[in-house]
A = this chain, B = another copy of it.
Amino acid sequence: MLKLVVVVKFKEGIDDPEGKSITHSLNLLGFENVKRVNVAKQYEIFVDADISKGREIGEKIVKKLLVNPVIHDYELRVEEI
């Protein structure tokens, strides 16, 4: 069994309204030294496959469903479990 861990973030320069909102809220709550918050999504995908195929399957899944390449960057880790 493989665990594919995919982290999908906004590209540099793309607006992150949730991150801005959290930054603002934290400043109001007394955390004035918080300068920026970036929000990303993490997917743990459990796949019944051989480790040698892990990265290939992960890349396909990411491109097919999880990432919009215009606005997102991603990281992919493959772990055998």
Binding site for B on A (CB under 8 A): 1, 7, 9, 19, 22, 25-26, 29, 31, 33-49, 57, 60-61, 64-66
* 28 residue pairs A–B, Cβ–Cβ below 8 Å: A1-B35, A9-B42, A19-B43, A22-B65, A22-B66, A25-B65, A26-B61, A26-B64, A26-B65, A29-B65, A31-B57, A31-B60, A31-B61, A34-B46, A34-B47, A34-B61, A35-B46, A35-B48, A36-B45, A37-B46, A38-B44, A39-B41, A39-B42, A39-B43, A40-B43, A41-B41, A41-B42, A42-B42
Q: Are A40 and B37 in contact (CB under 8 A)?
A: no
Q: Are A45 and B37 in contact (CB under 8 A)?
A: yes
